Amino acid sequence: MNSHIKTKLAQVDALASALHHTCFRNVELLDSQLLIDLLNPLADLIDELEEMCTGTELAAMTQRNSRYLAAMLKVIAGNQSMVEPCMMADLLIPILTSLDAVEVQIRQVNVMGSGARQELHS
């Protein structure tokens, strides 16, 4: 897998995790515009990742995450009210779950790849 994709995946994962943690720990209601401002950098990173992953095994996941986050932003923008941060944290779980699945997939490919290299050298 391309090192640029791995780096971008790490950035998306770090930002999504930080947002999830921040929202999960916060007890104050958040203005919908503030949520949009917090989520826009994540949406931009996921869009960049989607573009980088076109034609790879990660294309479907990145496209799904991009559509999910775009829909979430539209719902929040249309809501125009205060939102409980814990609800926002819950809405980030599908993105975090798919990123975890990709991480597992990468580890499996790396393990299988190193096993194949060992067989070649035997």
Q: What is the pLDDT of residue 121?
A: 38
Partnered with residue 83 across adjacent β-strands are 30
Q: What 3 state SS string does the chain have?
A: CCHHHHHHHHHHHHHHHHHHHHHHHCCCCEEHHHHHHHHHHHHHHHHHHHHHHCCCCCHHHHHHHHHHHHHHHHHHHHHCCEECHHHHHHHHHHHHHHHHHHHHHHHHHHHHHHHHHHHHHC
Q: Which residue has the tokens 């939102």?
A: 83
Average pLDDT, the chain: 84
| The model's pTM | 0.80
Domain assignment of residue 21, given as a range: 3-121
Tens of pLDDT, residue by residue over 43-86, are 999 999 999 999 988 889 999 999 999 999 998 888 877 778 88
Q: What is the pLDDT of residue 117?
A: 40
* 93 has a pLDDT exceeding 90: yes
For residues 80-107, average pLDDT: 85
pLDDT tier for residue 118 given thresholds of 50, 70 and 90 = very low
**Domains in the chain: how many in total?**
1
